[in-house]
Amino acid sequence: MKLSPLTLGEKIIKLPIFQGGMAVRVSLAPLAAAVANCGGAGTIAGTGMSPQELTDEIRKGRSLTQGVLGVNVLFAVNNFTELVKAAIHEKIDFVVSGAGFSRDMFIWGKEANVPIIPIVSSAKLARISEKLGASAVVVEGKEAGGHLGTDRPLMEILPEVRSAVKIPVIAAGGIIDAQGIAEALRLGADGVQLATRFVLSEECTVSENFKNYYLQAKKEDVVLIKSPVGLPGRALKNPFTELMSKEEIGIESCDGCLKVCNQDFCILDALRRAEKGDTERGLIFSGENIYKINEILSVRDIFKNLISGLDKIKE
C-alpha cells in the first residue's frame, strides 16, 4: 500500500504523515523540522507560548528544513488570535486548531493564502468547516491523546466524514504504525496524523523522564481526566491524576491563559511540569496505544518503518 502525495495550498506533502502538534513545548522546531525533512508535515505546538516565542520557534524550524512546516494552536487559549496571526505573518505552511472552533481563522487564512485545518470529530463539523473555507480537516477519534471531542473510535467516524466533504481528510487518534495508517487509508483518509509515536523520537525535546514514563506505560495506565478547558483528556496515570480524581488540586495563581476555565487546576502549569520531567506533579498527555510503542527511534527511522510496513500491506 502506498501513500499518495497531498496538495495543501501551494505545498505538496510527499508523504502525508502529519506530526501532531503537542503542547506544552512537546512539539518544537527540532521535531517538526525532522518530520518535514522526511517528506511529512511537521507541526510546532504554539499553545502555551507568547506570540514572540512562537515566531522564534517558527524561524528556528525554517532554519532546519525546507519542508512543510505548520503550527497547531488550541482555540481555548486567550491569545489564540495573536498566536495564529503571528504564525500567518511568518508565512507558515498551515495552521491546525482544535478544542473549539473559530470562524475568524478561516478569514485570516484566506486573506494570507495560508491553509487552515480544524480538528473535528463529526461529519457535521467537517461540513461546516468545508463551507467556511477549510483546506482540509483532521478527523480525530477517542483514541487520541490530550483533549478529546468525542467518545467514538476513529475508524467509526472516519467514513462518515469522508462521505460528507470533498476536501482532504487526515485521520488521527491512536495511529502508531503502518497497520493503522493502512486501515485509515482504506476508509478514505488522504493522510494521517501521528502524535504519541513522535514523542518517542530522538528529536523530540521533552525530558528523558517524560520519554521513560512513556516507555514504561502499560495499557491500564492510560486514563481519562477532566480538563479545566471543559473537555475530557487522555493522559497517563500518575500521582497528579490520582489527586485530580480526589479533587485535591487547587490553583495557587492564575494568569488567565484560557478563555474558559473551571479553575480545578492550571493545565498549562501541569503540562509544563511534565515536559520538564516532573512525572509526579505533571500532566502527561498520551494516546490510547502508547503501550504498544517500546523504543525510541530517530524520526527518519520511524518514517522508514512506517513506509516499509506499508509496502508489505496489500491494497
Say whether pLDDT at 100 is over 90.
no
Residue 123, pLDDT > 90, answer yes
Mean pLDDT score of the chain? 94
Largest CA distance in the chain: 55
The count of C-alpha atoms lying within 13 angstroms of the C-alpha of 212, restricted to the half-sphere facing its C-beta, is 8
Q: What is the pLDDT of residue 240?
A: 93
Q: State yes or no: pLDDT of 1 exceeds 80.
A: yes
Q: Grid coordinates standing for 252?
A: 495557587
Q: Tell me the per-residue pLDDT of 139-186, one tens digit each, with 9 for 90 and over.
A: 999 999 999 999 999 999 999 999 999 999 999 999 999 999 999 999
Lowest model confidence (mean pLDDT) among 129-133, 244-248, 292-296: 244-248
pLDDT at residue 98 in the model: 87
Whole-number Å distance between alpha carbons of 289 and 213? 14
Total Cβ atoms within 10 A of residue 263? 10
* Number of Cβ atoms within 10 Å of the Cβ of 200: 21
Q: In percent, how much of the chain has pLDDT > 90?
A: 86
Q: Print burial letters for 285-300: b (CB count within 10 Å at least 16), e (below 16).
A: bbbbbbbebeebbebe
Q: How many CA atoms lie within 13 A of 290 on its CB side?
A: 30
Question: Cβ contacts of residue 230 below 8 Å, gap of 6+?
Answer: 76, 260, 262
203: which 3 cell numbers? 528529536
Instruction: Answer whether CATH 3.20.20.70 is correct for domain 6-205+292-311.
Output: yes
User: Rg for the chain (alpha carbons), in Å?
Assistant: 18
**C-alpha count within 13 angstroms, C-beta hemisphere, residue 127:** 6
pLDDT at 265 (0 to 100)? 81
Q: For residues 189 and 171, is the Cβ–Cβ distance under 8 A? A: yes
24: cis peptide before it, omega within 30°? yes
Give phi and psi for 69, each to the nearest 5: -130, 125
Which cell numbers in the block locate residue 82? 495573536
Contacts of 68 (CB under 8 A, 6+ apart): 8, 11, 13, 36, 40, 41, 42, 93, 94
pLDDT at residue 264, as a whole number: 77
| Residue tagged 525554517 (cell numbers) | 62
pTM of the model: 0.95
Cβ-proximal residues to 239 (8 Å cutoff; 6+ apart), any chain = 280, 281
Q: Contact, 151 vs 142, CB < 8 A?
A: yes
The distance in angstroms from the start CA to the end CA of the chain is 5
Per-residue exposure over 101-117, b if at least 16 CB sit within 10 Å of its own CB, e if not? bbeebbebbeeeebbbb
How is the chain split into domains, by residue range?
A: 6-205+292-311, 208-290
Residue 132 dihedral angles phi and psi, to the nearest 5°: -80, -15
> What percent of the chain has pLDDT above 70?
96
CA 298/CA 285 separation, integer angstroms: 21
Q: Do 34 and 203 touch, CB atoms closer than 8 A? A: yes
Residue 133 CB neighbours (<10 A): 15
